[in-house]
Amino acid sequence: MAAGAGLLVIFLAWFAGPGLFGISNETQGTTVRAEVVEPAPCTGGGPSEKVRFEFGGKPVEGSLNGCGHGKGERVDVVVPDGASGDGVAVHAVDTTAGASDARRPLGLALLVFSCFAGGMYVFLVLRGPRVPATA
């Protein structure tokens, strides 16, 4: 019974989706089309490209944390909520800043371990104390 309950919890957690473990795939900001003004080569660490886009009815320049685009190339970027003025840090639409997809498998593994430990505890309690056999 305990093993079945543990498996049911794991099954439901798997299908609850990434939101169960605090992982959000929502875009935090507004998606706009930007034009690369100053491309950056993909050599060295931390390349940043300058991009120009229309935001709030006016042209804005920002920095895109990326590399390898050509001058004048159009890319879709996400402008963070509440951004204003020039020098806004944007990121590509297909990326999520600060997210790690390793959280879901790790959270699920910890859930499996806790279900196993709970099942073993129930087994030990139901089995009762072991009385040594005397000869």
Q: For position 48, which CATH number holds?
A: 2.40.50
Is 95 strand, coil or helix?
coil
Distances (CA, A) of 56 to 32, 33, 76, 114, 120: 11, 13, 16, 49, 59
Mean pLDDT across the chain, nearest whole number? Answer: 80
Average pLDDT, stretch 60-80?
88
Q: Is residue 69 part of a domain?
A: yes
Report the pLDDT value the prediction gives residue 17, as an integer from 0 to 100: 64
Residue 20: which pLDDT band, with cuts at 50, 70 and 90? Answer: low
Q: Is residue 36 part of a domain?
A: yes
Query: Domain limits at 45?
Result: 29-96
Structural domains of the chain, count: 1
- How many residues are present in the chain? 135
Q: Is residue 46 part of a domain?
A: yes
Q: Does residue 35 carry a pLDDT above 90?
A: yes
Q: Is residue 43 part of a domain?
A: yes
pTM (two decimals): 0.52
Q: Is residue 61 part of a domain?
A: yes
Q: Is residue 118 part of a domain?
A: no
